[in-house]
Structure 1
């Protein structure tokens, strides 16, 4: 699996490939269907598979003041695309130059010339080019002119509605981990480098890993049952506070997992934390003893929720 700059020429060994084209933030069931079609076609034709994505998200470029809304980092997407069968991830840097490229030029100069795509697979609602001037119908017409096949994939429908990143975000903002996981086919996960904190959790007997939320969407603030994956592949279980820690000052948005039966140094390591179940909202406590008692109850509840899940290697 390789990560390539979508604005540069693709290496010869990856030219003539099938390109899954979209943003793919979240990589939910609908996105997976697009990539699966590209993989199926590429394997049948003995071609490489490339998945194209955009960074930053085009919405962030045009509306820089929006609150954080991303569901995955590039590193997470790279792993997900690789697991789905892709040979490479193309990252289109969405900047003023790319925003000014017309739809015909994007197909001719970027997809056909720089990438050398033999085929493109995308969702039925995909738009592209300056002012979102291109749609799937135009992509098909331009594809024929450039000897490039184009497949469009219909939305995946669940409970009468298309699966979308917006639905995933709505579920997470409501603390509905089950719905988010069903749409994503996996629990929503936040990955970040563990930072030094004020060590208040350790003083209470619950040492936590402090992970900044960065550009991720803010799920409902509260206490969660979580699973953590370490760089060495170990999977840990625990409970986490996600939010501003109302019992402490100053407030700061953090994900703070406490992993059961674990007391190793994680500072500076990248840890991915899955939000498995929402347990309760954040709350302020009168004193340390009340907080400790609630943390013990939270850990017991989190352990029970996690024990009911299938084992994860």
Structure 2
């Protein structure tokens, strides 16, 4: 098979009850045509001896035996319904044979269901032979498998948020009733499309044949196959009907169907998915996304208003870009798509508080560069970064709206949190903003705060958690691990002399976690993967140190040369920093820390991300 191709095998093409359906006397269930024998829906994608499966159905063991599957490298889950996950336990033989945990990619709702149904998998003391060994990777952005980008495609299965997946020039979209407009941009330029077409009769959670054909008309793939097929559709007759209707390139999929897909390299994702604002918002995380950063509203006007563009604007400091901020920014992108406007964030650097009351200004959770990266990943097209000055602070609420929002930014809509204040002495509130919007011709949308387990998500709370060392809780509120970035600098060399070499980070962030030892992931400049690691934040008291340092020991790599830059993501705190009696006692403790970190990674069960996968 050409190295540029992926081999796709349909493992199952049936509906949730399979075909034949138990006890059903209909002609399809009684058919002798092998194409009418349909196991639950699943897909196998192969390249160069590596294999990825989409959905572990209740029939997974039978499906794997049918195709002689001897190796499995990753699992993608579309959602958490029984017909897509109940074969999860059958991955154990691959764990045992390959002596490794399998990465699983899906969304957080699916992982919540997985953790509940397969609670024993995430027990405190699993063993490789008794339960599946997995790492759960929540994804909202492209990730690489088999040497090609896999792009999660958000879909609606009734009211349930599920995922389809694009890989190369193909896409697999099962179990959906609607594709959000923001996801359509991800499906441009397809050669092959496998999609839900349950039956002819409408269903609240699935596509009918006619609805699927209408979607094919929009997307114009070269070939299309229907899957998740009920016993209403006989294989041969339905294919003939499709041919007579003028769709010779559209057929029912069947168990065992094989075809090849062009595997686009990573730099082709943007070109194939389009480079419009719509596609950037839908990808919501592709590194190919470009973000225009502007230093003033006048620059925005010069760049966009000349061409008749208007803006949908989110306003805020967005320090940390936590779950609450993300809700506002995602809503901004959605409104901009609907209004055919520019999705824009208006933010400030330095923060207003640092200018007006520097003695009370808190340390920032994120650097400006991190904020820009996260804005890009969320699908924004432009960011206006205002240098906050006393002149800006003197603008009255009305002047701020008229001069900046209306005259320069040409806003169609403004989205803010319910506690938003603006103008001189913070005299303006959301009520005044709404009134001004009605008068000046733009919509105002006020979003409620995001509440996590009874607690309002805020930058203040996250700063406190990080400062106290509770990075696990901070990660839940951020939607991803708290991260430090910066240059890798020379250290004392003590770690190497102790046989635990470290990379020393000169962090660019103002806020550091509390002194202690942490389980981390280290992302090295120029590398697409992250490394399991243990990080010490402290002063090295065993050696009477005084300067605060961030030192990271990689668990799964030995480097010939140190990278220039690094990002360290903090997942969990192991212990406080401690002064030991000497190097031997310290080394023994480091070995225990590494053992604890390896156990953590082997049974990893929590990770919330808006960013690239682990």
Q: Taking structure 1 as the reference length, what is the TM-score of the superposition?
A: 0.92
- Aligned counterpart, 2:496: 202
- Aligned counterpart, 2:567: 272
Query: Does the CA-based 8 Å contact 1:69-1:217 persist in structure 2?
Result: yes
- Aligned counterpart, 2:578: 283
Deviation at 1:110, TM superposition (A): 1.4
Deviation at 1:222, TM superposition (A): 0.2
Query: Does the CA-based 8 Å contact 2:519-2:534 persist in structure 1?
Result: yes
Deviation at 1:227, TM superposition (A): 0.2
- Aligned counterpart, 1:111: 405
- Aligned counterpart, 2:298: 8
Q: Which has the higher contact order (CA 8 A, sep 6+)?
A: 1
Tell which structure's C-alpha radius of gyration is larger.
2
The farther-off stretch of 136-145 and 83-92 is: 136-145
Query: Does the CA-based 8 Å contact 2:472-2:573 persist in structure 1?
Result: no
Structure 1: give runs of 5+ residues left out of the alignment: none
Query: Does the CA-based 8 Å contact 1:14-1:48 persist in structure 2?
Result: no
Change (3 A) 1:98 1:14: farther
In structure 2, how many angstroms separate the alpha carbons of the residues matched to 1:95 and 1:197? Answer: 39
Q: Output one character per residue of 1:151-173: Cα deviation in whole Å (capped at 9) or x when no partner.
A: 11011122223111122122223
Where does 1:100-179 land on structure 2 (aligned, <5 Å)? 100-179=394-473
CA-based RMSD of the aligned residues comes to 2.1
The farther-off stretch of 230-239 and 120-129 is: 230-239
- Do residues 187 (structure 1) and 481 (structure 2) align? yes
In structure 1, how many angstroms separate the alpha carbons of the residues matched to 2:463 and 2:524? Answer: 25
Query: Does the CA-based 8 Å contact 1:29-1:183 persist in structure 2?
Result: yes
Structure 2: give runs of 5+ residues left out of the alignment: 1-290, 608-612
Deviation at 1:14, TM superposition (A): 8.7
Where does 1:1-313 land on structure 2 (aligned, <5 Å)? 1-10=291-300, 11-12=303-304, 15-66=309-360, 69-232=363-526, 233-260=528-555, 261-267=557-563, 269-309=564-604, 312-313=613-614
Change (3 A) 1:18 1:264: farther
Count of aligned residue pairs for this structure pair = 312
Deviation at 1:68, TM superposition (A): 5.6
In structure 2, how many angstroms separate the alpha carbons of the residues matched to 1:298 and 1:66? Answer: 37
In structure 1, how many angstroms separate the alpha carbons of the residues matched to 2:538 and 2:454? Answer: 33
Query: Does the CA-based 8 Å contact 1:55-1:93 persist in structure 2?
Result: yes
In structure 2, how many angstroms separate the alpha carbons of the residues matched to 1:20 and 1:284? Answer: 48
Deviation at 1:134, TM superposition (A): 1.2
Query: Does the CA-based 8 Å contact 2:489-2:503 persist in structure 1?
Result: yes
The farther-off stretch of 188-197 and 91-100 is: 91-100
Q: Taking structure 2 as the reference length, what is the TM-score of the superposition?
A: 0.48
Change (3 A) 1:218 1:138: same
